Structure 1
Amino acid sequence: MATWGDLVAYIRQSYRVVRDQPDEIRIRLAFGADEDTEERAQVMIIAREVLDRKEDWVQIATPFATIHQVDLLSVLREIGNTMVVGGAAVMGDHVVVRHSLPLVNLDINEFLDPLELVAGAAEILEQTFTGRDDY
């Protein structure tokens, strides 16, 4: 997989798409969808980014809180102690976990593993810091 179009085609076939635009696709990933656990979900934003006006990258991001809901220093400490893939950023009023990958020569597992790790980390952060399931 080496192009944005290839990645989007894979995503459309494999996930529940909730929004589809030319340079951004959003999917809904569910957690704990068995009979003993209440289902929670995370909306994942997958966007095409162009680095230095020449290299295509894909950015995986998902919000887990607003800046007014959390103590940002506590969030950053938690992320520093527990996350392996991705990092935190503020986008508008939202605190997000995000990770970026170059599209050239991208193998599907190089996308899937970070997608799942970012989603899982955001889900845990959302539970820990807000106790809600808004995203």
Structure 2
Amino acid sequence: MTSWTDVINYVRTRYEVLEETDGWLRFRLDAEGDRTQQVSVHHVPDEGGKGWLEISSPVGRADAIDQGRLLELAGASLVGGAAVVDGVALLKHTVPLDDLSVQEEFGRPLTMLVANADAFEHALTEADHF
């Protein structure tokens, strides 16, 4: 059984943690070239008490990007869906925590989602704000 602590330890040993609470981590990954990309992971229990991990990475301010184009880009992506939270356009992906292979079922989607978020941010804003 995989725990939230296992995920925290996985992240701490691999990435620069920027912020952490009991149920949330925000950290930074290196991206193509000299770019970086922030990502957050939330530990979210469902109504039945099962744990989930919600991975999200910002793409840009929702009011400053072409949201239709973001949906087209996200629609062609293997992992993640587009969302807007607190005015920020994000790519989000959710995985169940129970019996999770941290490397395969968290690590792989994490790196794929972050690479897409960075590419979408670059395509939609031509900047590296996140």
> 2:25 — aligned with what?
25
Q: Is 2:59–2:118's contact at 8 Å kept on the other side of the alignment?
A: yes
Following superposition, the deviation at residue 120 of structure 1 comes to: 0.5
Q: 4+ runs of 1 displaced by more than 2 Å?
A: none
Which amino acid is 1:93 matched to?
G
Q: Quick check: 47-56 or 92-101, which moved more?
A: 47-56
Q: Does residue 1:90 correspond to 2:84, yes or no?
A: yes
> CA offset at residue 42 of structure 1?
0.4
**Which stretches in structure 1 are left out of the alignment for 5+ residues?**
none
Greater Rg, structure 1 or structure 2? Answer: 1
- Provide, for residues 21-56 of structure 1, a one-character-per-residue CA deviation record: whole Å limited to 9, x for no partner: 110011110123xxxx4x101011011011115111
**Match status 1:62 vs 2:57:** yes
Alignment partner, residue 107 of structure 2? 112
TM-score (norm 2): 0.94
The root-mean-square deviation of aligned C-alpha atoms, in Å, is 1.2
